[in-house]
Amino acid sequence: MAPHALLIPLPAQGHVNPMMQLAWKLVSHGFLLTFLNSDTNHNRILTANTPNSFIHDNIRMISVPVEIPLMDTPEGIENGIELLAKDMGPSVIDRVIQEINAREEENKVTCIIADVWMCFGLQALGILHSDGIPKENKKTKYLPSMPALHSGDLPWLWAGEYMFRKGIRMGEEIKPIKWVLFNSFLEIEAPVVETLSKEVGVYPIGPLIPPEFLHSRTTTKVLPSFWKNDTGCLQWLHKQCADSVIYISFGSLAVLSEKQLEELALGVEATRRPFLWVVRSDLMKGSQAVLPAGFLDRVRDRGCIVSWAPQLEVLSHPSIACFVTHCGWNSVQESITMGVPMLCWPYFADQFLNRTYVVDVWKLGLPLNANSQGMIEQEEFVKGVEILLESEQGLEIREGARKLKIIARDAVKDGGSSSNNFNLFVTAMKRQLN
């Protein structure tokens, strides 16, 4: 009998992707998998992708009806989590498991792998709990093993009191769980993993990147994206010089104001460098994204704009020089694994914290700083690109990115720290069947 895992990602692109990467890994170790989506995401995935590009015989895709609002504001997060707790809560999961088990007499569900949203910083949550939410934006060292953090950069502060309480509860809830798998690797977070390990069984198994992407650029695997991948940009990248292209993408949820979008476009233009920019149709707050008049004509010979890119393939392309990123955790892990230095433009949630790590701890990128009105001006953008790609400081960052790329890949190779953790998990899940 094979272990049969029910995989439950949070219904958002940035959570579905790493869970699918984990699914591919588990399938190659003899698991049978059932992948649970919300109906909406399930349909979007089937519409946007060729099914056999991500579905495997041993991965069953199922879905349940749940309609969550856009979780990009504190209110949206609160409503979304409450709805999820109702529509994808324990009673729904129980029912789903019963249905699977009734269908698959021989292959009943033997383990559940669920997304634990924001489970980082358990002790920090405990410490904060006693003091309440810090009101002023001061820099504090929450754990001896973490760098000092601006309290305003903490994810639970961005999302307010509700998320703060929720974070504390989640920290408590995961304590009895035996296997807490992290999409990260020991070599970049050893002090934090060590501290957390005193409280819970933490197992970094990342970066969760399919092996095909680590060894070659030709792969038939595609992440189950909610938007249709524009693969034409890869042909465009093939025509560009090595280390020349600025890749700009803000992930699946971040939005920019009309003014900010315009300012960024002018900054991109002013760099006079080739660029690949993901402009999702909903990238502009409130309406269909529009670029400044004449922009497309002016940059036609050196720019490529798509509404959704095959990001792993893009980042592993030799023409990419740097990644202007919102610092979503997947984007950061993917950039590290491909050795691409970053310009950090966080939008919300954990992204400010991730920026601190990218810039101050791992030294893999530079921040793009907003002015007093919260805008990143075109001059700041150009300056960031120039420092990263032309200066001594930039050279050190780029060399650091190349070195960490090797360390990240070693972590998931046979005998590497993440590979060992993953094997421990697989062995334990198989052993419990006997």
Interface residues with ligand UDP (CB under 6 A)?
13-14, 17, 223, 225, 249, 251-253, 278, 308-309, 311-312, 328-331, 334
Chain residue at closest Cβ approach to ligand UDP: 14
Closest to ligand UDP by CB, 92 vs 291, is 291
Distance, in Å, from the CA atom of 75 to the CA atom of 254, rounded to the nearest integer, reads: 16
Query: What's the helix, strand, coil split of the chain in %, to 5?
Result: 45, 15, 40
CB of residue 181 to ligand UDP, shortest distance in Å: 16
DSSP state of 66: -
* DSSP one-letter string for 370-409: P-TTS---HHHHHHHHHHHHHSHHHHHHHHHHHHHHHHHH
Smallest gap from Cβ 327 to ligand UDP, in A, equals 8
Using the minimum distance from each CB to ligand UDP, give the nearer residue, 164 or 348: 348
Closer to ligand UDP by Cβ: residue 35 or 329: 329
Looking up tokens 């004509």 gives: 297
- CA–CA dist 139, 152 (Å, integer): 9
Task: Give just the sign of the alpha carbon dihedral 342, 344, 345, 349.
Answer: positive
Q: How far is the CB of 148 from ligand UDP (least distance, A)?
A: 24
Report the residue number, 113 or 349, with the smaller CB distance to ligand UDP. 349
CB-wise, 123 or 311, nearer to ligand UDP? 311
Q: Indicate the burial class of 266 (C-beta count within 10 angstroms; 0-12, 13-18, 19 or more).
A: middle
Which residues, listed in sequence order, are joined to residue 322 by a DSSP beta bridge?
246
CA distance 3 to 21: 17
Q: Which one, 100 or 348, has the nearer CB to ligand UDP?
A: 348
In the bound state with ligand UDP, the residue whose beta carbon lies nearer, of 34 and 225, is 225
Q: CB of 103: closest distance to ligand UDP in angstroms?
A: 31
Residue 34: strand pairing partners: 6, 60
Tell the smallest beta-carbon distance from residue 390 to ligand UDP (Å). Answer: 26
φ/ψ of 394, rounded to 5, equals: -65, -40
Q: Residue 408 in contact with residue 207, Cβ under 8 Å?
A: yes
For residue 198, which amino acid is it? K
Tell me if residue 41 falls in helix, strand or coil.
helix
Q: Hey, how many other C-beta atoms are within 10 angstroms of the C-beta on 94?
A: 10
| Residue 340 C-beta: closest distance to ligand UDP, Å | 12
C-alpha 155/C-alpha 153 separation (Å) is 6
Q: CA nearest 54: which of 16, 24, 74, 83?
A: 24
Nearer to ligand UDP, 153 or 334 (CB): 334
Closer to ligand UDP by CB, 123 or 345: give it: 345
The burial class, CB within 10 Å (0-12 / 13-18 / 19+), for 288 is exposed
- Minimum distance, C-beta of residue 244 to ligand UDP, in the bound complex (Å): 20
CB nearer ligand UDP, residue 331 or residue 421: 331
- Residue with smaller CB distance to ligand UDP, 130 or 216: 216
Q: Are 111 and 5 in contact (CB under 8 A)?
A: yes
- Could you give the CA distance from residue 5 to residue 398 in angstroms, rounded to a whole number? 39
* Measured distance CA(35)–CA(128) in Å, rounded: 35
